[in-house]
Amino acid sequence: PTFLKVKANKLANPFFIGMAVKANQLTAGSKYDVILKNEFSSISAEYEMKMDQISTASGVYNWTVADKIVAYGNGNGINVHGHALVWHNSVPTWLANYTGTDAAFALEVKKYITDVVTHYKGKVKSWDVVNEAVEDDGTMRNTIFLKRMGANYVNDCFKWARAAAVAAGDTQLLLFYNDYATSDNTSKQNKMYTIIDDLVASKILDGVGFQMHNTIFAPSKAQIESDINRAVAKGLKIHISELDMQVNPGNAPANLTATFTNELRLAQKDKYKEIVKIYNALPAANKYALTVWGMKDNESWIPFSTDLNHPGNDWPLLYDANFALKSAHTGFLQGL
C-alpha cells in the first residue's frame, strides 16, 4: 500500500502527517511502531505531556514518560508537537488546591511553562501553549487560570513560553493556540479569533490548532474552510491537531447503531478525503501538520468519552482493532 507520509512528502507543498501516541505503544518492533514509522512524520502525546502528568508538585517534575515520547520522535526523525502546556482538564491536584495568592499562582504557571519549554528546547518543535480557552457559548471558559490570573492569562502564557524558548536559544519554536468545534459555532469561533488577534498583535503566536473531532455530518466543507481561512489570512500556521471522524454521534443511545455499516464506512471515507483536501489546498506557508487522534478504532478516546455517551459504538480512526486499513485510510490518501 501507499503510506500516508510517503505520499505527503511527494507533494509540491508537503506537510507532516501526525499521530497521537501513548508511551506504552512505542515498543520497537511492535505492529504499532512499524505502522507509525511507515505512515506518520509527526507525533503528539495523547495525554502524557499535559501538566497533571509532568508536574507532581510545585517545581517537581516527572519527565520519564514524556521524555520517552520525545526521544522516540527525535530518534526516528519524527517531528514532535507538544500538547499542551495549559489546559483546564489537566490541572494537577496541587495547583487546583493552591492556597497562595493569585500573584503566586501566576508565578507557578510561569515557572511550569518556563521549565517545560526549557527542558524540551530543540526537541519539541511546537507547543500548544493554551488549549480550549473558549466556552461553547462564546465566552471565555471560566477556568482556574482565568479566575486566578485574569482575562490576560492567555497572552501571559504565550509571552512566558516565547521568553523561555528565546532564553534557551531556541528561536524556531512554534507556539499554537488550540481549540475545538469552532467551525460550526460562530460565537465560539469569533471569540477564539479575538484571542488570536490579541496574540498576533503581541507577535507571540505562530499558529492555530483546530482539533477537528468531527463527525460524518458536521462541520461542512464550507464551514471548515471559512474558519481556517480566517487564520490563514493572518499569516498563521494551521495545525489540524486532533482529527477523528465519528460515524455514530449524538447523545441518544437508542438511536445509535451497533454496527459499522458499509454506508457509514463510505461516508467516513469521503469525509476524511474532504478534510485532507481542504488542508492540502492551503498555501505552503500556512501548512504545518495534520494530526490524527489515535491509530486504531478500539484505542480511540471517542467511545470512552463521557461527554459523548455511547461507549463502544464508534469507529472514528484510520485502522480497525486488528490494524487493518479502513476505507477512511483510502479516503485520506485520496485527499493527498
Give the residues lining the site for ligand XIL (CB under 6 A).
46-47, 131, 180, 211, 242, 301
Task: Quote the least distance from Cβ 131 to ligand XIL, whole Å.
Answer: 5
For residues 61 and 301, which CB has a smaller minimum distance to ligand XIL in the complex?
A: 301
Least distance (Å) between residue 1 CB and ligand XIL: 26
Give the separation between CA 173 and CA 176, rounded to whole angstroms: 10
For CA atoms 251, 257, 259, 260, give the dihedral sign: negative
Q: Nearest residue by C-beta to ligand XIL?
A: 301
Which residue from 1, 36, 90 is spatially nearest to 292, judged by alpha carbons? 36
C-alpha grid cell for residue 218?
A: 458536521
Closer residue to ligand XIL, CB minimum distance, 54 or 333: 54
CB closer to ligand XIL, 46 vs 297: 46
**Cβ 297 to ligand XIL, closest distance in Å?**
14
Cell output for 283:
498555501
CB of 67 to ligand XIL, least distance (A): 19
- 242 noted as active-site residue: yes
The residue (of 260 and 301) whose beta carbon lies closer to ligand XIL is: 301
Question: CA 288, CA 76: separation in Å to the nearest integer?
Answer: 19
Q: Three cell numbers at 197?
A: 488577534
Residue 268, classified by CB atoms within 10 Å of its CB into exposed (0-12), middle (13-18) or buried (19+), is buried
Residue in 242, 263, 274, 299 annotated catalytic: 242
- Least distance to ligand XIL, CB of residue 334, Å: 26
Smallest separation (angstroms) from ligand XIL to the CB of 99: 27
Name the residue nearer to ligand XIL (CB basis): 35 or 86: 86
Cell digits of residue 138 = 462564546
Nearer to ligand XIL, 80 or 336 (CB): 80
Largest interatomic CA distance in the chain: 58
Active site residues: 242
